[in-house]
């Protein structure tokens, strides 16, 4: 029986149950049918009830000189926190696609990631002005409990270490 994946990786059958099939058997093994298509339950969790990553975000790249004191990152528009970078994210179920635009650095980038609890991890691509290396571009972000800001890392192979070995270098807050 051919199957296909729909929204949130639910698996659907392309055939209706065979004629004469006991409806109790169908109900016990599949969700209700829609127009003769049996919906087979999947082990993939349901989509989250809130799209917490969705929307526009104000972000800043944090430098080592900034000592990663986020209380000053938003109050002081001057260095060491860099220019305000506009980030746009679109969340679809457990997946997030996004773009960032740092006009001061001339960096335009896109990224795609997957949500696991309050973490968003994935890969990114962009112009050479975004990074010296064009390989191993990854990111890892952690959402705060109030879903209004995040902190994490945007990195590539050039750093030679994993982000967990260093202080976070990227912060974002929900745009007004």
Is residue 86's pLDDT more than 50? yes
Among 144, 136, 54, 128, residue whose Cα is nearest residue 152: 144
Is residue 80's pLDDT more than 50? no
Separation of alpha carbons 26 and 175, rounded Å = 48
Q: List the alpha helices (DSSP H) in the chain.
A: 23-29, 70-73
For the chain, give every residue range classified as CATH 2.40.160.90: 55-174
Instruction: Say what the pTM is.
Output: 0.68
Average pLDDT rounded to a whole number, residues 124-140: 85
pLDDT score of 6: 42
Over pLDDT 90: what percentage of the chain? 28
Q: Is CATH 2.40.160.90 the right assignment for the domain spanning 55-174?
A: yes
Give φ, ψ of 32 to 5 degrees. -55, 150
């Amino acid at each position: 029986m051919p199957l296909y994946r729909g929204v949130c990786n639910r698996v659907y059958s392309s055939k209706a149950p065979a004629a004469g099939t006991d409806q109790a058997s169908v109900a016990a093994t599949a969700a209700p049918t829609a127009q003769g298509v049996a919906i087979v339950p999947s082990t993939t969790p349901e989509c989250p009830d809130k799209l917490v990553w969705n929307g526009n975000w104000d972000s800043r790249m944090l430098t080592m000189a900034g000592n990663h004191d986020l209380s000053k990152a938003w109050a002081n528009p001057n260095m060491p926190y860099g220019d305000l970078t506009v980030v746009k994210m679109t969340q679809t179920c457990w997946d997030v696609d996004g773009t960032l635009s740092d006009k001061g650095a001339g960096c335009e980038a896109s990224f795609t990631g997957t949500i696991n609890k309050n973490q968003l991890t994935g890969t990114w691509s962009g112009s050479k002005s975004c990074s010296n290396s064009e390989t191993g571009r990854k990111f890892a972000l952690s959402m705060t409990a109030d879903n209004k800001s995040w902190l994490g890392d945007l990195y590539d192979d050039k750093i030679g270490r994993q982000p967990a070995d260093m202080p976070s270098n990227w912060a974002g807050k929900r745009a007004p």
